[in-house]
Amino acid sequence: MSKSFVWVSLVVGLVLGFVGGRAIPGTRPAQGTPPGAPAPAPNPLAQRQRAPISPTVYKVPLDGSSFAGNEGALVTVVEFSDYQCPFCARGHGTVKQLQQRYGDKLRLVMKHHPLSNHPRARPAALAALAAGEQGKFWPYHDALFANPKALADEDLERLAGELGLDVARWKRDLASPALAARIQKDEALALQVGATGTPAFFVNGRFINGAQPLEVFTSVVDEELAKAEALVKSGVRPTEVYARVIERGVDRPPAPPAPAELPTQKVEVGNAPSRGPANAPVTLVAFSDFECPFCSRAVPTLHALEQEYAGKLRVAFKHQPLPNHPHARLAAVASLAAHEQGRFWEMHDVLFANQRALTREDLEAHARKVGLDMARFTQALDSSRFDAHIQLDMAEATRLGVTATPTFFVNGRPIVGALPIDHFRRVIDEELKKSGVATR
């Protein structure tokens, strides 16, 4: 999906509330038909696009989080972010523009939401908080987003030195349980208020989903600024505006309505890599693409579901590398080469955590990282023995009417896109009840 398509979709979605005939948010459209496969059937999975702005005000407490700007700023932007997330880096640039545009009228509050499929995000968050113990949180924060591929331990320590920190003290603070607890508190709050992905922003309590264009943010900031100025004129002190704005807000989003039931399909696991008992009462089959950013957003959701439904859920992975992702197919081959050595899921996690590093050289580095026999791995990459496996997965996706990634089938029931975890829980619980098994 091109950037221009995303921008056009956002604009049309804001005006009309939906985008007809397009992939829903949290998906990538599948393009083309595998050679020899039947023509795609009409897609029954299309849904309306979710608006990127919520009119609801949420109670998002600041709780001593790091902030930039004046305490008396009339608009407070709370950001839930992840230093390894490419969309967060894009949102960081937008935030910088907002700070320049609104000056003292805007306060930025940073909360940490390191996703489980980004292995270096949590160490980076701890490193930034440790820098904050010496008054250097924001310089460290900015440097992390400026160097998203330099998040190894040695990179984080080098950055501490470059910023003039007492490195010995920084390393002691890095291991502090108190800093780890701050991150865990931020993560719990993110899930409570419905910020399941990153980046997520709350502008005076109003949710903005993802790295939206600057115009989306300024429209909300301008509205909230006008409301805040009215409060000040009525006698509310600027330092009390945020508390006044959110005092009647909600603690959590309402439970999502059950979507219209889509046709159940017959989906076989076959020889797909899978995890969980073969006789589990619920099987979830994912059609995914290692270069699709929306697919990576679903990874922590699947990990959480596997833990919650341990022994009751089997998860299988099928390949749908899209033609507009030049590295996706070779990444699929690499995952199957790892599967051949019993390391599919380890490679799966590394590939999704490193979506900007999927060249042949990168794949070999990832293989070494997960401990593969490199001779066998490189020989597999050079062969064509996995072509039939990938082609069959793609043909099956076409037969099922799958035109976007990620798409999931829970006992054959489709779920399209990287939807909130409650959507998956509802379907899984219903399937467990059908089989007479306790839900959780």
* pTM summary value: 0.55
* Architecture of the CATH domain 53-246: 3-Layer(aba) Sandwich (3.40)
**Does the pLDDT value for residue 8 go beyond 80?**
no
Q: How confident is the model at residue 320 (pLDDT cuts 50, 70, 90)?
A: very high
Distances (CA, A) of 18 to 3, 12, 42, 229: 18, 7, 19, 33
* Predicted confidence (pLDDT) at residue 381 exceeds the cutoff of 90: yes
In the chain, pLDDT over 90 holds for what percent of residues? 73
Q: CA 14 to CA 10: how far, in whole Å? A: 6
Question: Is the separation of the CB atoms in 172 and 104 below 8 Å?
Answer: no
Topology adopted by domain 274-434: Glutaredoxin (3.40.30)
pLDDT tens figures, 262-301: 789 999 999 999 999 999 999 999 999 999 989 998 999 9
- What is the radius of gyration, based on Cα positions, of the chain? 23
Does the fold of domain 274-434 match that of domain 53-246?
A: yes
- One DSSP character per residue, 145-185 reads HH-TT--SHHHHHHHHHHTT--HHHHHHHHT-HHHHHHHHH
pLDDT over 80 at 385, yes or no: yes
Between CA 78 and CA 81, with CA 79 as vertex, the angle to 5 degrees is 160
For the chain, which residues make up each domain, given as ranges? 53-246, 274-434
How far from 160 is each of 119, 129, 155, 180, 392, CA to CA, in Å?
Answer: 20, 11, 9, 18, 50
pLDDT of residue 286: 98
pLDDT computed for residue 243 by the predictor:
96
Between helix 121-132 and helix 153-162 the angle, nearest 10°, is: 20
